[in-house]
Amino acid sequence: MRNQITPKRIAVVGAGICGLCTALGLSQLGHDITIYERDDAMPEGNPDDIFFDWLRRGASQFKHPHAFLAVMSNLLSEQFPDLIDEFWAAGARRVSFEDMLPPDLSNSYRPAPEDESLWLMMCRRATMEMVLRRYAERQTNITFESGTRINAMVIDSNGRLPTITGLVTQQRSGTEPPITISADIVVDAAGRGSPFKRWFHNHGLEIETESHDAKIVYYTRHYQFKPGVEEPERDGKTRSAGDLGYLKYGVFPGAGGHFSVILCVPCEDSILHDAVKDETTFDTICQQIPGLVPWLGNDKATPTTGTLGMGNIKAVWHNFMKADQPLLQNYFAVGDAAVRTNPLYGRGCSTGAIHSKILTDVIAKWQDPISAAQQFHEATQTKLRPIWQASLNEDRTAIKRANLILNPESDLNSRQKSLKSRLSRAYGDAITKASQQHIRVFRGAFRTFNLMEPPGYFLKDFKTQCLIFWTLLRDGSANKNIRIVPGPSREDMIQAIAHPDQKAAA
């Protein structure tokens, strides 16, 4: 049932990017928002100060690279138009569609109207949080309770369905006794470590969960170019991100000469797993990869952090409904608290922004808690499930590819040689090759990459299909060369680690 909006007391648990976006969106509806965050308040200072000095225990990925895709950048522009200039002032960079064109397409490029919306924002997560948080702090109906932990949720079980009515909070220092606060709505933006799942279980509310291990670990290290060193130009032949089969790598440019590098390896590869943890061997590995040499070769940059690891990487989907009814009324989980994808794909912040917008739209239209929960669930399924499924499929493909290298004699690899598997890989290679040669295909793939449309939706376009099939028929098996990223074999990489004085990649 739709009614005129009545201002509500809304508790948002978690002041990460998703929590901040949700709070800002709901505050525009006139609700009174309190954000509870267990970490201390953000310190004063510039983006470098925030990045290096703010201890973010509640956001394990705080210092890991992030991609703020077009879907998120556009949502921020549309919802908070006066906010965007603050990102530019803080050093964030706008990367346009034209900036991302492959060399073979850039010379003949003619802009299309939609290209204006196909842009990414590049900055460190610390910069993104700093700008969003300072903007939120200026809103008169948003209050921050930093250094506060949530001990429990308060539930009224007297109705037909249980309803969350508040939270038990306490200062993290423990010097003050816990207090109970009331809330009309509780938003769980506490991320992948959210305690609400445990509390649901303790109350006999069983959440249906799908969880799939990506079987990888990745490590990050941050650097800054030395004075006088410029960021390298993009080179279609030397990729700054790629997959060697046994190792994935990527560069994430930032502001002020800062950038970060990620190295991702399968968990079962104990040799490389141990190597990427170590600062010296991390740098040695980078020096062997041609795509990273323009950034790190010839003593161009200085490390600004050690190596930062992240494991337990999974695709997770939580369902908070049962028989079309909410398990707990007036509770809404957003972002990683509800849906997790492999952070390697850079979709987490963007799916969080989408999820926060879904919740804002639902709360704006639906006052009845059951209807609101149903609408939120349906919109989440429609808009996020295809992204989650595509990410899971990519995980499974990557696991198979790594297994080909690590366990070449396994039965799994023999099954990958089937006709169906070969045709699937050939079609994927043709898509990649066509996107490098035809602007129509590239534009569609770029929309999908930036979550501006459901994954693979551009493949429904007839002209795009023709271009892909023409590429498949014309070039055949030669298209597989598009998969090849210059770099050493696993055996050569291990040899380089064992003998770091050998010549690095040229």
Q: Are 370 and 446 members of one domain? A: no
Q: Are 46 and 107 members of one domain? A: yes
170: Cα separation from own chain's centroid: 30
Q: How far apart are CA 173 and CA 91, in angstroms?
A: 35
Residue 410: the pLDDT is 63
**289 close to 487: Cβ distance less than 8 angstroms:** yes
**160 domain-assigned:** no
Q: Which CATH number does the domain housing residue 104 bear?
A: 3.50.50.60
* DSSP assignment string, 119-147: -EEE--HHHHHHHHHHHHHT-TTEEEEET
CA angle at 103 for the pair 99 and 105, rounded to the nearest 5°: 85
Q: Are 254 and 298 members of one domain? A: yes
pLDDT digits (tens, 9 = 90+) for 257-305: 899 999 999 999 999 999 999 999 999 999 999 999 999 988 999 999 9
Task: Count how many domains the chain has.
Answer: 3
What does each C-alpha distance from 166 to 118, 242, 373 come to in angstroms? 41, 47, 17
Q: Are 300 and 318 members of one domain? A: no
* DSSP assignment string, 302-328: EE-S--EEE---EEEEEE-EETTEESS
Q: How far apart are CA 502 and CA 488, in angstroms?
A: 13
**194 domain-assigned:** no
For residue 497, the enclosing domain spans 417-506
Q: Are 371 and 254 members of one domain? A: no
Nearest to 335 by CA among 380, 371, 370: 380
Q: Are 296 and 333 members of one domain? A: no
The residue whose two tokens read 């610390």 is 126
**15 close to 146: Cβ distance less than 8 angstroms:** yes
pLDDT digits (tens, 9 = 90+) for 471-506: 998 988 777 777 778 899 999 999 999 877 665 554
Q: Are 476 and 424 members of one domain? A: yes
What's the alpha-carbon Rg for the chain, to the nearest Å? Answer: 24
- 41 Cβ neighbours under 8 A, 6+ residues apart: 144, 146, 147
Q: Which CATH number does the domain housing residue 278 bear?
A: 3.30.9.100
Tokens read off for 349: 């912040």
pLDDT in tens, the chain (506 residues): 445 678 999 999 999 999 999 999 999 999 999 999 999 999 999 999 999 999 898 777 888 888 799 999 999 999 999 999 999 999 999 999 999 998 889 989 999 999 999 999 999 899 999 999 999 999 999 999 999 999 999 999 998 999 999 999 999 988 899 999 999 999 999 999 999 999 999 999 999 999 999 999 999 999 999 999 999 987 767 788 999 989 999 999 888 889 999 999 999 999 999 999 999 999 999 999 999 999 998 899 999 999 999 989 999 999 999 999 999 999 999 999 999 999 989 899 999 999 999 999 999 999 999 999 999 999 999 999 999 999 999 999 989 888 888 887 665 555 555 667 778 888 888 999 999 999 999 999 999 999 999 999 999 999 999 999 999 989 887 777 777 788 999 999 999 998 776 655 54
CB count in 10 Å sphere of residue 278: 15
Nearest to 356 by CA among 8, 64, 72: 72
Residue 372: the pLDDT is 98
Q: Would you tell me the crossing angle of helices 369-406 and 348-365 to the nearest 10 degrees?
A: 170
**239 domain-assigned:** yes
In terms of Cβ atoms closer than 10 Å to its own Cβ (0-12, 13-18, 19+), residue 370 is middle
Strands, E assignment, 226-287: 241-243, 248-253, 258-266
**442 close to 464: Cβ distance less than 8 angstroms:** no
**173 domain-assigned:** no
Nearest to 301 by CA among 222, 235, 238: 222
Q: How far apart are CA 255 and CA 88, in angstroms?
A: 10
**178 domain-assigned:** no
